[in-house]
Amino acid sequence: MNIIKVKHIHFKKGSVDFELACDFDNRKVSPKLAKLILDYVPSIGEQICVNDKSEYFKDEIVGTELAHLVEHLLIEIQGSVYKNHVFKGHTSWADEIANTKAHGYTLMTTNVDYLESKIVVHALKEAIYIVTSIYNGKSLRPFSDIINDLQDLSKFN
pTM (predicted TM-score): 0.94
* DSSP state letter for 94: S
- Which residues does 16 contact at the CB level (< 8 Å), separation at least 6? 9, 10, 111, 112, 114, 117, 120
pLDDT tens-digit readout, 123-150: 999 999 999 999 999 999 999 999 999 9
pLDDT tens-digit readout, 64-102: 999 999 999 999 999 999 999 999 999 998 767 777 888
| Rounded CA separation 24/4 (Å) | 10
Q: Give the residue, 74 or 156, on which the prediction is more confident.
A: 74
Q: Where are the domains of the chain?
A: 4-87+115-154
Which alpha helices (H) appear in 41-116, and where do they start and end? 66-81, 97-100
pLDDT-derived band at 5 (thresholds 50, 70, 90) equals very high
| Rounded CA separation 27/93 (Å) | 12
pLDDT at 12 over 70: yes
Instruction: Give pLDDT, residue 2.
Output: 84
| Rounded CA separation 146/118 (Å) | 14
Residue 108 is inside which H or E element, if any? strand 105-113
Q: In what side-by-side order are the strands of the sheet with 15-23?
A: 4-12, 15-23, 105-113, 89-93
